[in-house]
Amino acid sequence: MHLEFDVSSCIRATSKFSECTKCVDICPVSTIEMLDNTPAFTPSACINCGGCVGICPTESFSLSGFSPIEFFFKFLEEENNELVCQQDLYCCLSVLSVEHLISLAVASETPVIMDAKGCHCGGESTLLKEQIIANIEEANFILSSFSDKKILIKSVVATSLKKEEEQKVTDRRSFLSLKGAIKSKQAFDEAVVADELKSFGIDTAVIAGIRDKKIPDKRKLLYSVLKRVPKPLSYDVLASKDISFTSQKFIDESCTNCQICYRICPTGALSSNGKFSVINFDAMMCLKCHLCHDVCEPNAIQLQQGFEIKEFFEPTQRTLATFDIKRCNECGNYFTYTGGLKECLRCKSEEEEAMELHANARRMKLE
Ligand code: SF4
Ligand code: SF4
Ligand code: SF4
């Protein structure tokens, strides 16, 4: 098993304005560093723990021969419901993101137990252990808003509870048979397509800029799992700061419709239409990668304080901003009309430049 990196998925490669350092911050042996604004690492120094794999919002890092999705389905088919570092995954438990943990907890008939405190993958460093516990706590916090399921940390599992779980006669595959068996990555991909995940209100044929947008497997998994459980009777709103992997946003009046945020968004969570007269947003596709905030010059795009759990079960596309679009009197291209000007900013600045040159020429003639 070795670490692999797909630079094209990294948001730092997408924009020099990205401030993401999650992979660097989690690496317990400090082998990941930023070189020319993109992550670089020394393979021989890498301990293949998978901490960066679990934390990267875009799944740019992966471990050869290890697929979290295949692990997910294998785990559901096995009797063992306990996860031990370096044993069940052949890497550290930190390879599983909060989305993976929520998916596991929801899909599993018995409580998932994680031996988080037994992690010694980082040697002296406690970074990975802390991340595993933080992931479990976040997953449990989110789970508590719509389910009575949760991930148990081994050291706090009461013996009686464990015995009770062992005695429980359950078919751990029943979840998979609920709406057709999904037993392989290929079958999973097909199931996702069948669920029309990519359609989420985004017309990919119209918006050329989002053609290559990618939704990470962990998000597709979470979406697919949540589609197969009953919807809660009511939905909570959780504080945004308590959710690390998605967000809800609003755009204030300082937005100039420069188009950068929705052109650059790695998943297409932010999108527009053919005339660029709206900015739409799908929370279920957002990775909270912060790129749109990093590139927005007037800071017009903002995080909503609360996150509506309803988005997990009934994803919607919301319009965050609308613009009056007109054709430029000079070049005929569309531009965002803000009143007054009948030309686009480019033609306006060319006109100003020409007037300045003309004035300079006149001045020189008079002198
Ligand atoms: S965590 Fe992922 S997106 Fe962020 S810098 Fe590292 S590789 Fe790039
Ligand atoms: S929100 Fe910011 S980045 Fe997006 S279009 Fe408006 S000004 Fe540009
Ligand atoms: S909407 Fe912003 S934070 Fe969400 S995925 Fe797109 S760029 Fe990242």
- The residue from 166, 194, 218 where one domain ends is 166
Amino acid symbol at 360: N
Query: What was the pLDDT predicted at 185?
Result: 65
So what's the pLDDT on residue 202? 31
- Asked whether residue 175 is domain-assigned, the answer is no
Amino acid 140: pLDDT: 95
Does 179 reside within a domain? Answer: no
Residue 123 inside a domain? The answer is yes
Residues 333 and 317 in one domain: no
Per-residue pLDDT tens listing for the chain (367 residues): 788 888 888 888 888 899 999 999 999 988 888 888 888 888 888 888 899 999 999 999 999 988 989 889 888 888 778 888 877 677 888 999 999 999 999 998 888 998 877 777 877 888 898 899 999 999 999 999 999 899 998 764 444 444 444 444 333 434 444 444 455 666 666 665 544 432 223 334 323 333 478 899 999 999 999 988 889 888 999 999 999 999 999 999 999 999 999 999 999 999 998 888 999 999 999 999 999 999 999 999 999 999 999 999 999 999 999 988 888 888 888 878 777 667 777 787 888 888 888 888 888 877 7
Sign of torsion, CA 339 343 345 349? negative
347 CB neighbour count, 10 Å cutoff: 18
Residue 354 domain boundaries? 325-366
367 CB contacts (<8 Å, ≥6 apart)?
A: none
Judgement on whether residues 254 and 329 belong to the same structural domain of the protein: no
202, 147: one domain: no
- CB of 285 sitting under 6 A from ligand 2: no
DSSP SS3 for 66: coil
- Annotate 100-126 with b (16+ C-beta within 10 A) or e (fewer): bbbbbbbbbebbbbbbbeebebbeebe
Whether 177 maps to a domain, the answer reads: no
Q: Are residues 131 and 229 in the same domain?
A: no
Q: Is 204 part of any domain?
A: yes
Tokens of 33: 């560093």
- The CA distance from 310 to 207, in Å, is 27
Secondary structure letter of residue 43 according to DSSP: G
Q: For residues 19 and 143, state if they share a domain.
A: yes
Q: Residue 312 burial by CB count (10 A; 0-12/13-18/19+): exposed, middle or buried? A: buried
Pocket of ligand 3 (CB under 6 A): 265-267, 269-270, 286-292
- The domain boundary residue, chosen from 166, 195, 222: 166
Which of 14, 17, 18, 251 to probe ligand 2 with, by most ligand atoms within 8 A of CB? 251
SS3 68: helix
**CA–CA distance, 257 with 149 (Å, rounded to integer):** 43
- Which segments of the chain does DSSP mark as H helices, in order? 11-14, 22-26, 51-55, 68-77, 98-107, 127-143, 159-167, 174-178, 185-194, 217-227, 260-264, 291-295, 310-313, 345-366
Number of domains in the chain: 3
Q: What is the reported pTM?
A: 0.80
* Centroid of chain to Cα 71: 20
| One domain, residues 105 and 161 | yes
313 and 336 co-located in one domain: no
Nearest ligand, measured from the Cα of 320: 2
Distance CA 244, CA 135 (A): 9
Backbone φ/ψ region at 63: left (φ over 0), alpha (ψ -120 to 50), beta: beta
Please give the pLDDT value at position 260.
93
Paired residues of 83 in beta bridges: 114
Q: Do 229 and 140 share a structural domain?
A: no
Does ligand 2 have an atom closer than 6 angstroms to the CB of 291?
no
Select from 56, 97, 265, 267 the residue to mutate for testing ligand 1; criterion: most ligand atoms less than 8 Å from CB: 56
Q: Tell me, yes or no, whether 154 lies in a domain.
A: yes
Per-residue pLDDT, 300: 95
Are residues 344 and 298 part of one domain?
Answer: no
Token pair for 304: 């909503």
In sign, the C-alpha dihedral spanning 71, 76, 78, 82 is positive
Do both 52 and 141 map to the same domain? yes
Ligand 2: centre distance to CA 97 (Å): 30
- The answer to whether 252 touches 303, Cβ cutoff 8 Å, is no
Q: Are residues 231 and 279 in the same domain?
A: yes
Domain assignment present for 112: yes
Domain boundary among 166, 194, 227: 166
Q: Are residues 65 and 96 in the same domain?
A: yes
Distance CA 127, CA 297 (A): 34
pLDDT at position 155, please? 64
Of 102, 89, 103, residue with least CA distance to 225: 103
